[in-house]
Structure 1
């Protein structure tokens, strides 16, 4: 059986590039999560107190 040496080091700049891409990806996910929460709060704020109580929430739970 032959032994094959492998280069385990990443190419120059690959780690930095990966960190930049990961940062952009995480920022996008944060913005998406923030927007989903914003839309949900907006929709729930349109409900009456009685409707909120029916689903187990109070007005204070929205914010």
Structure 2
């Protein structure tokens, strides 16, 4: 007669602690991305219009560059 062990989780599945760890990792990544965008925005905003023109940007480009979104 065969017996099945039903007390173990399926191989490769994550338990409660694994899901909580993934949530913490995602939140930490989002916080780091927000902080990078904030620092980039502050640094570019501190430049003069002439300095922005020297690197091929205008004031309207700062948000796009800070968030990393591309414009087609």
Residue matched to 1:54: 54
Query: Which fold has the larger relative contact order, with Cα–Cα distance below 8 Å and residues 6 or more apart in sequence?
Result: 2
Question: Which has more helix, going by share of residues?
Answer: 1
Structure 1: unaligned runs, 5 residues or longer: 1-6
TM-score of the aligned structures, taking structure 1 as reference length: 0.73
Report the count of equivalent residues: 54
Moved >2 Å (runs of 4+): 7-10
What do you get for the CA RMSD once the two structures are aligned? 1.8
TM-score of the aligned structures, taking structure 2 as reference length: 0.65
2:12 is the counterpart of 1:36: no
Residue matched to 1:9: 10
